Amino acid sequence: MRKRSVVNVGGLLVLGGLFAGCALDARVDLAAAGAMDRLAGSVEGVVNEYHAEIDKADDAMEVAVVDAYVDRIRRDVADDGAVEAHNEKFRLAMKRVRDDRAVEFDRYRAALDNVDVMREVARGLRRLAAESMSLEDDARRYLFSLLESAQASSATPAS
């Protein structure tokens, strides 16, 4: 009987350690999920601010290119060769502005995709925490049923 009690107590201590681990993991998972959400929000804000600043800079660059083109055309209006050269340089400059915008927009979308990944990881951590908590509840019910059955068997007189 004494040996069985030691085994039961040892088993209860192991199960208790598992329960504490489950609860700790759930709290850690929830805290990590919250941190990931805050980080995602912060990164999204920075990415949006950067994108807006780049848009303004690209708009200013576009205005500067157009103004420079108009100045050159006014200056060389009588020279057809110079006007044609200015037209070609203008097309190339505008293409560079458009290409820069496209590259920046691709980077912007990639950064927002990373924000989405962070939020998905946070959702996964929350699901993991919820599953961990339900596992803890299941284990607690099992532990109590073990205790009750052990108590019931010790209350029964030995034959």
Q: Token pair of 52, please?
A: 């807006």
CA dihedral 75, 76, 82, 86 (to 10 degrees): 40
Supply the pLDDT for residue 58.
94
Q: What's the domain range around 119?
A: 2-155
Query: Residue-wise pLDDT tens for the chain (159 aa)?
Result: 444 444 444 444 444 444 444 445 778 888 999 999 999 999 999 999 999 999 999 999 999 999 999 999 999 999 999 999 999 999 999 999 999 999 999 999 999 999 999 999 999 998 888 888 776 777 777 777 777 777 777 666 555
Supply the pLDDT for residue 92.
96
Supply the pLDDT for residue 155.
60
Whether this prediction's pTM lies above 0.85 is answered by: no
Domains: count for the chain: 1
Supply the pLDDT for residue 7.
40
CA distances from 107 to 27, 92, 101, 103 (A): 35, 22, 10, 6
Q: Token pair of 65, please?
A: 């290119």
Locate tokens 């590259």: which residue?
Answer: 103
CATH number for the domain that contains residue 18 = 1.10.287
Locate tokens 């912060």: which residue?
Answer: 42
8 Å CB contact between 126 and 29: yes
